[in-house]
């Protein structure tokens, strides 16, 4: 495996960490944020698409998010997607405008949000481990095909493991930071 292969693995692992941070941006901490609804996908036009592709998200006041749905046919689907997301929100439809009041965060809701944060972090860890597995499989194939000696294969496997550990550590740090933010009253 070349340095380019290692850079590709590092890029893919860093991508998993970035996705996690983006998802954490959507986990609310008591204030309305347009990013809160970004992970929501809506069944529209026969496929699942991000809510940002069916309407405009606004934050008119600190405890309210609105979604102005462009096509009347997608209003019900957008409302259902918000209601069924794990965000615990209760949208109200007014024509093509969906109002999403943001309830006060109580202790029970904070605990629920930390569980969601843990789930997101685990998905990111799995993504990083899958990238590691791809790299390790490639190393084993290269050794089997005679492109690498056993010592080279072990050395490069150690490099991939170090890369993996670094990214898992970043995920854990992001999780700890988000947990602290959620639990802060």
65 and 97 fall within a common domain: yes
80 and 110 fall within a common domain: no
pLDDT in tens, 111-142: 888 888 999 999 999 999 999 999 999 989 98
| Number of domains comprising the chain | 2
* Domain finish residue from 44, 70, 101: 101
For every residue of 148-184, DSSP letters joined together read: S-HHHHHHHHHHHHHHHHHHHHHHHHHHHHHHHHHH-
Q: Check residue 161 and give its pLDDT.
A: 94
pLDDT in tens, 86-117: 777 889 999 989 998 887 778 887 888 888 89
Residue with more model confidence, 185 or 172:
172
pLDDT in tens, 68-92: 999 998 899 999 998 888 777 889 9
Write down the mean pLDDT value for the chain.
Answer: 87
Residue 140 near residue 153 (C-beta atoms within 8 A): yes
* Domain finish residue from 101, 130, 153: 101
177 and 112 fall within a common domain: yes
* Domain finish residue from 101, 123, 148: 101
Judged against a pLDDT cut of 80, whether residue 48 lies above it is answered with yes
Q: Check residue 14 and give its pLDDT.
A: 92
Confidence category of residue 1, pLDDT binned at 50, 70, 90: low
Q: Check residue 87 and give its pLDDT.
A: 76
Residue with tokens 């380019």: 4
Share above pLDDT 90 across residues of the chain, in percent, rounded to a whole number:
37
111 and 159 fall within a common domain: yes
Q: Check residue 45 and give its pLDDT.
A: 86
Q: Check residue 28 and give its pLDDT.
A: 65
Confidence category of residue 182, pLDDT binned at 50, 70, 90: confident
Residue 17 near residue 165 (C-beta atoms within 8 A): no
Q: Check residue 31 and give its pLDDT.
A: 67
169 and 127 fall within a common domain: yes
Residue with more model confidence, 113 or 26:
113
Bridging pattern class, strands 97-101 and 47-50: unpaired
Task: Outline where DSSP puts E strands in the chain.
Answer: 41-44, 47-50, 55-61, 64-69, 92-94, 97-101
d(CA 80, CA 61): 23
Confidence category of residue 169, pLDDT binned at 50, 70, 90: very high
Domain region containing 143: 3-24+106-183
């Amino acid at each position: 495996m070349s340095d380019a292969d290692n850079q590709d693995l590092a890029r893919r692992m860093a991508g998993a960490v970035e996705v996690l941070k983006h998802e954490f941006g959507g986990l609310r901490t008591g204030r309305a944020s347009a990013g809160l609804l970004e992970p929501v996908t809506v069944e529209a036009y026969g496929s699942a698409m991000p809510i940002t592709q069916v309407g405009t998200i606004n934050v008119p006041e600190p405890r309210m998010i609105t979604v102005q749905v462009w096509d009347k046919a997608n209003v019900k689907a957008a409302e259902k997607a918000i209601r069924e997301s794990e965000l615990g929100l209760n949208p109200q439809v007014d024509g093509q405008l969906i109002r999403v009041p943001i309830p006060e965060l109580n202790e029970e809701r904070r605990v629920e949000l930390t569980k969601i944060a843990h789930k997101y972090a685990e998905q990111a860890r799995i993504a990083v481990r899958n990238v590691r597995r791809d790299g390790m499989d490639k190393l084993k194939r290269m050794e089997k095909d005679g492109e690498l000696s056993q010592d080279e294969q072990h050395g490069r496997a150690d490099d991939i493991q170090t890369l993996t550990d670094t990214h898992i550590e970043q995920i854990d740090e992001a999780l700890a930071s988000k947990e602290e933010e959620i639990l802060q009253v």
